[in-house]
Amino acid sequence: MAKESSASSSNSITKYQFTLSDESKERILKVLDYSKTIAHYGFIPFVLYLGWSATSNKPSILSLLSPFPSA
Amino acid sequence: MYTYMEYLQKCYYKSIGWNEDNIYSNITATSNALLEFSIPNGIKIDNSNKTTDYSASSFTLSNQHQINGSLAYLYSSIPLTNTMGTKEISLQDAIAGFKIIEPVLLVNKQLNSNLNSKSSSLLYGRMYFPGSALEAMLIKRISENTQLLIKCISNPHLEKNGTMIVYLQNNKTKYSRELIFSTNELLLGVRCLYNLGSSLNSKINPNLIPKFDNSVVSIGTELWYAARTMSPGLSTALRYSTRSTSTGKPLTMTLAINPILGHVSSTYTVKTSVASTFCSKYDFNFFSYASNLSLGFELYSYSRKKNNLKSFPIKNDLPPTNTEILNQIRSIDNGYQIKPDLVSSKTLNNQAVTTAFQNLVNESDFSSVLKVSTSLNDKMMKLLWEGRCKDILVSTGVKIALNPTTNTPEVNRLGISFSYAC
């Protein structure tokens, strides 16, 4: 009787709990890690792209990249 | 000296009509610029280029401990046409100094004229080498008076990969409000600033407003709560900014209080002439009774090019008005008497004098500025010279502090920085 009640209570807990396998946990962590890296290295190219697309005469990538004045 | 990217951000704010003086964190901007200015450390070279009206890039090299550099890019959704390179920029725009606080009406007018740039944005990214740390900023205008500002530092070597701070700012002529969240310590903050006095409606004819009413009283407060450490923070500040009715010289007074730490800080800054500003600050802690007096001044020197002075029509008008005002009080037999014939002309000249002084400050062509600041309790002195050599802005300075044990002066910081932008 006591065994039954404990089993039913554990069942009710698992009903509302979202359990993740270790594999999927690892996968999520990896995806988060990759997205962080993409945001880190992709932000500056994104800023450059916005600057390129906003200008009507579409300057060359080199002139956008270079901080030195082009002659 | 502002970096070129900071300067572009200011130009962006100017073109969308965003009033930075109305933000609580800038309430002590003037005294900070005169007393808390930073001295370059080592050699730094900054080269910037505005590629198009929408984008700019910047490259920095410095030799702090080892040679390191950074590359920065900026994008603005509205064309930044009001910018200038280091060749023609006026020093007043390139260097943080005395900020003349505009009365409510003038700001209101400026805002109304820029309603078309409602949903503009600015993105800025800077990557540091070596180490590839990223500094990112995003400004997104949500509505006419509201903007979202996100600042972020991402560095794989830092704990939790860096930090991020989000500001939601609402800036109106009468008041400004801010909600702040930082991932560092899960910090939550609320800031507000309120401009006292009757609200001036933009429909009122500016000529009907009393000529002496060009002072601004702002009161602000900030509340912080760090959710992780459960520690609160609080400070409140008052700023009074006005102009002398006789000479038109602006002055700003601030009083900031932090009741939790028991800190009171009062500042008084006055623009003593077109080319000079003087600032004093007194700090006091009513828990420890520790106090500190800081003094600072800045002196601008005029550019040698005489032909530029001809373009100021106000320059020719001001000296007579000035002498007139000075002579209003004349000495008669050990006493002073006010010349009655000149008093009426004074009231007429009030507005002219204040605007003439401001125009003179804005349009003067300065070649360099010397900033000196000292603090009695810290026993230190800072000297900074900033000026233009050819087309390059040069900033060089030294910080000398008294060694507390040996009582000998020591050089704490010494450096020079060059910046070029076109």
Which residues in chain B are closer than 8 Å to A62, comparing Cβ atoms?
none
Looking at the structure, do residues B248 and B355 belong to the same domain, yes or no?
no
DSSP summary character for residue A56 = T
Looking at the structure, do residues B353 and B234 belong to the same domain, yes or no?
no
Say if A62 falls within a structural domain: yes
Task: Give the domain CATH number at B400.
Answer: 2.40.160.10
Contact A40 B154 (CB under 8 A): yes
Looking at the structure, do residues B359 and B374 belong to the same domain, yes or no?
no
Last residue of a domain, one of B330, B345, B364: B364
CA distances from B389 to A69, B88, B370, B418 (A): 19, 12, 15, 9
DSSP bridge pairs for B241: B216, B252
Which residues in chain A are closer than 8 Å to B48, comparing Cβ atoms?
67
- Residue B130 preceded by cis peptide, ω within 30: yes
- Better-predicted residue by pLDDT, A23 or B202: A23
Which residues in chain B are closer than 8 Å to A41, comparing Cβ atoms?
132
Say if A1 falls within a structural domain: no
Provide the domain count of chain B: 2
The residue among B141, B135, B17, B20 whose CA lies nearest residue B76 is B141
Structural domain of residue B320, as residue ranges?
Answer: 312-364
Contact B134 A59 (CB under 8 A): no
Distance from CA of B135 to the nearest CA of A (A): 9
Compute the distance between CA of residue B323 and CA of residue B185 in angstroms, rounded to an integer: 58
DSSP bridge pairs for B188: B181, B225
Compute the distance between CA of residue B284 and CA of residue B128 in angstroms, rounded to an integer: 39
Looking at the structure, do residues B298 and B284 belong to the same domain, yes or no?
yes
Say if A64 falls within a structural domain: yes
Name the residue in chain A with its Cα closest to that of B155: A40
Say if A9 falls within a structural domain: no
Give the angle subtended at the CA of B180 by the CAs of B5 and B232, to the nearest 5°: 130
Say if A15 falls within a structural domain: no
Looking at the structure, do residues B80 and B218 belong to the same domain, yes or no?
yes
The residue among B19, B91, B151 whose CA lies nearest residue B394 is B91
Which residues in chain B are closer than 8 Å to A47, comparing Cβ atoms?
55, 73-75, 123-125
Helices and strands, number each (H, E), in chain A: 3, 0
Compute the distance between CA of residue B29 and CA of residue B100 in angstroms, rounded to an integer: 11
Say if A36 falls within a structural domain: yes
Contact B54 A44 (CB under 8 A): no
Structural domain of residue A50, as residue ranges?
Answer: 20-71
Distance from CA of B127 to the nearest CA of A (A): 8
Looking at the structure, do residues B248 and B234 belong to the same domain, yes or no?
yes
Are B182 and B162 in contact by the 8 Å Cβ rule? The answer is no
B119 contact A CB<8A: no
- Diameter of chain A by CA atoms? 89
Structure tokens at B71: 């590359």
**What's this model's pTM, rounded to 2 decimal places?**
0.82
Say if A61 falls within a structural domain: yes
pLDDT at B244: 81
Looking at the structure, do residues B329 and B406 belong to the same domain, yes or no?
no
Provide the domain count of chain A: 1
pLDDT tens for chain B, residues 1 to 422:
899 999 999 999 989 888 888 999 999 999 999 999 999 999 999 999 998 889 999 999 999 888 999 999 999 999 988 888 888 888 888 998 888 887 665 544 555 445 455 789 999 999 998 888 999 999 999 988 899 999 999 988 887 888 999 999 999 888 999 999 999 889 999 999 998 875 555 555 555 555 556 788 999 999 999 999 999 999 999 999 988 877 888 899 999 999 999 999 999 999 998 899 999 999 999 999 999 999 999 999 998 765 444 444 433 344 444 434 444 444 444 444 444 444 444 444 556 777 778 788 888 888 999 999 999 988 899 999 999 998 899 999 999 999 888 889 999 999 999 999 98
Looking at the structure, do residues B349 and B241 belong to the same domain, yes or no?
no
Instruction: ipTM value, please give it.
Output: 0.77
| Three-state secondary structure call for residue A55 | coil
Which residues in chain A are closer than 8 Å to B127, comparing Cβ atoms?
44
Looking at the structure, do residues B117 and B262 belong to the same domain, yes or no?
yes
The residue among B390, B339, B345 whose CA lies nearest residue B367 is B390
Q: How many CB pairs under 8 A join A and B?
A: 72
Distance from CA of B89 to the nearest CA of A (A): 17
Structure tokens at B386: 């900033």
